Amino acid sequence: MRGVHGVENAENDDACSGAFSSHEGNGIEMTASAEDAERSQLELSPEEMLALASRASELLVARISGLSADPPWRGGTREELEPLLRSAAPEQGRPAREVLDFAAREILPRASRVDHPRFFAFVPSCATWPGVLADYMSSGYNVFQGTWLGAGAPSLIELVVLDWFREWVGYPETASGLFTSGGSAASLDAFVAAREAAGGPERPSVYMSDQSHTALSRAAHIVGVRPEYVRKVKSDGRFRMDMAELARAVAEDRADGLTPIAVCANAGATNTGAVDPMPELADFCEAESIWFHVDAAYGGFAVLTEQGKALLRGMERADSIAMDAHKWLFQPFEAGCLMVKDVRRLESAFSVEPEYLQDTQWGPGHPNFGDRGLQLSRSFRALKVWMSIQTFGVAAFRRAVAKGMELAERAEVYAIESELLQVANPASMGVVCFRFNPRDSGLSNEELEAINKAVQAKVISTGTAMTSSTRLRGLYSLRFCILNHNTEWTHVRETLEAIERFGQEELAN
Ligand SMILES: *Cc1c(COP(=O)(O)O)cnc(C)c1O
């Protein structure tokens, strides 16, 4: 049998490499022997593992280095993809390298390249290499990050990284939380804590602006808030929560016998990058004794910069904050995070202590992350942040975040100066919205919508860039979200120029 220790592996080397060389490093089949018969059929030899991992690294590095020469979007309809990819689960396997190459050639490229320097749609995500390798390593060690017993040092690293975030946002030492799949799960966990803090009322209500992410309404619904009591408060002229509207909604609902359990602020709304008035919201929630939650899923890491810190002032007064390291902290999916100002409120909401986990109660200072949220079996997500920050340093991340904001501002200036573009919403937190609308064009909104839709489709079909559109106060608008540390001004400028050109072509038609 092959052992786990280096010495035993070395002893087995000859036997393994002998069998291996007969297949030239490609296969998983081995020469039959008594040893092989005994061995797990799910195991590869060390040489095969290395060869396969090197091949995977080679493919990945080639993909990442060649990214900007590729179009930022590929995909396909169900009809197109089914014949390429549908197969029954094979009873017998085939060479591992063949399987890997198939995945790299036929499956993985047929998707959005959210890390492409000209991917400006939705919320981009461009992972750093140490973050990618951290996921590989933690999968390889198969860390069980649900209890301290299960993962001592990894749990401490999760605490350490959460403490970095805590200091960045200006939270006190009582604050901590957990890594989650993303902002959706983080908001869900926050609402459970909020509901419990409000005493688990029978008819709970939650408040957010009409610009809030749908993840929040879904999370509120899941924790037991009826959809009609997930209040979408009107936003003001700059897409920020209207405080008077909020106060009115809360007063009305209280009069109707509802119990408000949470008010949510956008710290970077997905649509426009808008930041709700957090100091006012904090005052309001304090006076009304309502849990104050901040959805900083994409915008939160802007606190690393001076400009972002100023924009996000008041965030530190929230009861909870959700942030996605897989967005503006350049980590691979999934790397969401929830921080609760008094982490005991999170633990008391989630903690249950079944008999079969009694050995895992190590007492104060040894949190079981499984007691801070939904997941018991959890991966070691914090490692990617830790490895990336250790490798590049916070200063490099600060510059990368600042660059996104600067590029969005430059795009806004470009649109202001252009005879052909019209700003729909100024740059905020890396997001800028505009539409093709030649000065004094006299075109109706309907005509402009048709033209801009055609432009948007052409930007994608020509492989120029990946952009997405939105609707602002009912008007169709193009939207750039620029959060990629590899995006340069030329990428942005060339896309803006293409939009001007495509718009003029549409006009001429
Ligand atoms: C991305 C995002 C979410 C949802 O987070 P997931 O990580 O996709 O679960 C929620 N709110 C905002 C503002 C976001 O940008």
Ligand 1: lining residues by beta carbon, under 6 Å? 123, 182-184, 213, 215, 270, 295, 297-298, 324, 336
Closest CA relative to residue 459, chosen from 506, 423, 412: 506
Direct distance between the N- and C-terminal alpha carbons of the chain, in angstroms, rounded to an integer: 73
Name the residue of 209, 324, 431 whose CB sits within 8 Å of the most ligand 1 atoms, as the mutation to test its pocket: 324
- Give the domains, in start order, of the chain with CATH numbers: 144-392 (3.40.640.10), 396-508 (3.90.1150.170)
**0.85 surpassed by pTM:** yes
For residues 241 and 235, the answer to whether their CB atoms sit within 8 Å is yes
Across the range 115-125, mean pLDDT stands at 97
Cα separation, 274 vs 299, in Å, equals: 9
What percent of the chain clears pLDDT 90, i.e. is strictly above it? 89
Instruction: Give the Cβ contact number of residue 166 at 10 Å.
Output: 22
- Return the pLDDT at 360: 86
Cα separation, 294 vs 274, in Å, equals: 13
Across the range 460-464, mean pLDDT stands at 96
> Is residue 228 within a helix (H) or strand (E), and if so which, with residue range?
none
Across the range 412-437, mean pLDDT stands at 98
Structure confidence by residue, pLDDT tens digits, 238-270:
999 999 999 999 999 999 999 999 999 999 999
Name the residue of 294, 298, 323 whose CB sits within 8 Å of the most ligand 1 atoms, as the mutation to test its pocket: 298
Across the range 169-189, mean pLDDT stands at 98
Nearest CA owner, ligand 1 atom 4: 183
Cα separation, 299 vs 273, in Å, equals: 8
Nearest CA owner, ligand 1 atom 15: 298
Cα separation, 330 vs 316, in Å, equals: 23
User: 414-429 as b/e, with b when 16 or more CB fall inside 10 Å?
Assistant: bbeebebbbbbbbbbb
Ligand 1, residue 183: give the atom nearest the CA: 5
Structure confidence by residue, pLDDT tens digits, 304-363:
999 999 999 999 999 999 999 999 999 999 999 999 999 999 999 998 878 888 888 898
For residues 325 and 401, the answer to whether their CB atoms sit within 8 Å is no
Instruction: Give the Cβ contact number of residue 10 at 10 Å.
Output: 11
Q: How far is the CA of 353 from the centre of ligand 1 (A)?
A: 31
What percent of the chain clears pLDDT 70, i.e. is strictly above it? 93
For residues 172 and 392, the answer to whether their CB atoms sit within 8 Å is no
- Return the pLDDT at 39: 75
Ligand 1, residue 186: give the atom nearest the CA: 9
Q: How far is the CA of 269 from the centre of ligand 1 (A)?
A: 9
Give the single-character DSSP code of 202.
S
Return the beta strands (E) in 2-51 as ranges. none
How far CA 462 is from CA of 72, 488, 507, in Å, comes to 10, 20, 18
Cα separation, 315 vs 438, in Å, equals: 39
Cα separation, 152 vs 348, in Å, equals: 22
Structure confidence by residue, pLDDT tens digits, 52-98:
999 999 999 999 999 999 999 999 999 999 999 999 999 999 999 99
- Return the pLDDT at 499: 98
Name the strands in the sheet holding 320-324, side by side, starting at the edge strand that comes first in the sequence. 176-180, 336-340, 320-324, 291-296, 259-266, 204-209, 230-233
Q: How far is the CA of 322 from the centre of ligand 1 (A)?
A: 9
380 Cβ contact list (under 8 Å, min separation 6): 138, 141, 143, 145, 151, 154, 157, 158
What's the one-letter identity of residue 186? A
Structure confidence by residue, pLDDT tens digits, 382-399:
999 999 999 999 999 999
Instruction: Give the Cβ contact number of residue 94 at 10 Å.
Output: 12
Nearest CA owner, ligand 1 atom 3: 183
Ligand 1, residue 333: give the atom nearest the CA: 7
Average pLDDT, the chain: 93
- Return the pLDDT at 415: 98
Closest CA relative to residue 441, chosen from 499, 496, 504: 504
Ligand 1, residue 334: give the atom nearest the CA: 7
Ligand 1, residue 327: give the atom nearest the CA: 1
Nearest CA owner, ligand 1 atom 7: 182
Ligand 1, residue 185: give the atom nearest the CA: 9
Structure confidence by residue, pLDDT tens digits, 6-51:
333 333 333 333 333 334 444 445 455 666 667 789 999 999 999 9
Ligand 1, residue 298: give the atom nearest the CA: 15
Q: How far is the CA of 153 from the centre of ligand 1 (A)?
A: 29
Tokens for 127, please give them.
Answer: 């992972």
